[in-house]
Amino acid sequence: MRIAMIGTGYVGLVSGACFADFGHHVTCVDKDEGKIAGLHAGRMPIWEPGLEALVANNVARGRLQFTTDLRKGIEGADAIFIAVGTPARRGDGHADLSYVFAAAKEIAEALTRPAVIVTKSTVPVGTGDEITRILMENGAPEGTSVASNPEFLREGAAIRDFKIPDRIVIGAEDDHAREVLREVYRPLFLNKAPILFTGRRTAELTKYAANAFLATKISFINEVADLCEAVGADVQEVARGIGLDNRIGPKFLHAGPGYGGSCFPKDTLALLQTAQQHGAPMRIVNSVVEVNDARKAGMADRVAEALGGELNGKRVAVLGLTFKPNTDDMRDAPSLALIKRLEEGGARVAAFDPIGHEQAEPLLPNVEFAADPLAAVKDADALVLVTEWDEFRALDLREIAAAMKGNALIDLRNIYEPEEVKRAGLTYRGIGRG
DSSP string, 88-157: BPTTT--B--HHHHHHHHHHHHH-SS--EEEE-S---TTHHHHHHHHHHHTTPPTT-EEEE----PPTTS
pLDDT attached to residue 190:
77
Strand 168-172 to 145-148 pairing: antiparallel
Please check whether residues 69 and 93 belong to one and the same domain.
Answer: yes
Please check whether residues 180 and 324 belong to one and the same domain.
Answer: no
Q: What is the rounded CA–CA span in Å between residue 390 and residue 326? A: 9
Q: Which of 174, 198, 222 is the last residue of a domain?
A: 198
Nearest residue to 127 via CA among 62, 207, 193, 61: 207
- Kindly report the number of other CB atoms within 10 A of residue 295's CB atom: 22
**Measuring CA to CA, how many Å separate 138 from each of 5, 80, 102, 134, 141?**
20, 16, 11, 6, 9
Please check whether residues 24 and 163 belong to one and the same domain.
Answer: yes
| C-alpha atoms less than 13 angstroms from C-alpha of 410 in its C-beta half-sphere | 24
Per the CB < 8 A criterion, the answer to whether 292 and 215 are in contact is yes
Q: What is the rounded CA–CA span in Å between residue 275 and residue 286? A: 10
For residue 2, what are the contacts with CB-CB under 8 A and spacing of at least 6? 24, 25, 27, 76, 77, 78, 79
Sheet holding 408-411, edge to edge: 368-369, 348-352, 315-319, 382-385, 408-411, 427-429
- Let me know the angle formed at the C-alpha of 300 by 296 and 302, rounded to the nearest 5 degrees: 105
Please check whether residues 241 and 337 belong to one and the same domain.
Answer: yes
Please check whether residues 55 and 148 belong to one and the same domain.
Answer: yes
**Measuring CA to CA, how many Å separate 100 from each of 95, 120, 222, 256?**
10, 10, 35, 34
Please check whether residues 288 and 411 belong to one and the same domain.
Answer: yes
Please check whether residues 54 and 164 belong to one and the same domain.
Answer: yes
Per the CB < 8 A criterion, the answer to whether 419 and 404 are in contact is no
Q: What is the rounded CA–CA span in Å between residue 285 and residue 282? A: 6
Per the CB < 8 A criterion, the answer to whether 421 and 397 are in contact is yes
Please check whether residues 178 and 233 belong to one and the same domain.
Answer: no
Q: Which of 152, 179, 198 is the last residue of a domain?
A: 198
**Which residue range is the domain that position 240 belongs to?**
200-434
Strand-pairing partners, residue 116, are 79, 145
Per the CB < 8 A criterion, the answer to whether 248 and 232 are in contact is no
Please check whether residues 171 and 231 belong to one and the same domain.
Answer: no
User: Which residues are known catalytic residues?
Assistant: 263
- Kindly report the number of other CB atoms within 10 A of residue 91's CB atom: 6
If DSSP codes are grouped into helix, strand and coil, which group holds residue 219? Answer: helix
Please check whether residues 86 and 234 belong to one and the same domain.
Answer: no
Query: Can you list the positions of beta strands (E) in 279-392?
Result: 315-319, 348-352, 368-369, 382-385
pLDDT attached to residue 434:
77
Strand 382-385 to 348-352 pairing: unpaired
* Residue 322: CATH number of its domain: 3.40.50.720
pLDDT attached to residue 191:
75
Q: What is the rounded CA–CA span in Å between residue 272 and residue 289? A: 10
Q: Which of 198, 216, 234 is the last residue of a domain?
A: 198
Number of domains in the chain: 2
Please check whether residues 257 and 392 belong to one and the same domain.
Answer: yes
Please check whether residues 147 and 85 belong to one and the same domain.
Answer: yes
pTM value? 0.93
**Measuring CA to CA, how many Å separate 272 from each of 61, 210, 212, 237, 247?**
45, 14, 10, 32, 26
What tens-digit pLDDT sequence spans the chain (434 residues)?
999 999 999 999 999 999 999 999 999 999 999 999 999 999 999 999 999 999 999 999 999 999 999 999 999 999 999 999 999 887 778 899 999 999 999 999 999 999 999 999 999 999 999 999 999 999 999 999 999 999 999 999 999 999 999 999 999 999 999 999 999 999 998 778 899 999 999 999 999 999 999 999 999 999 999 999 999 999 999 999 999 999 999 999 999 999 999 899 999 999 999 999 999 999 999 999 999 999 998 999 999 999 999 999 999 999 999 999 999 999 999 999 999 999 999 999 999 999 999 999 999 999 999 999 999 999 999 999 999 999 999 999 999 999 999 999 999 999 999 999 999 999 999 999 97
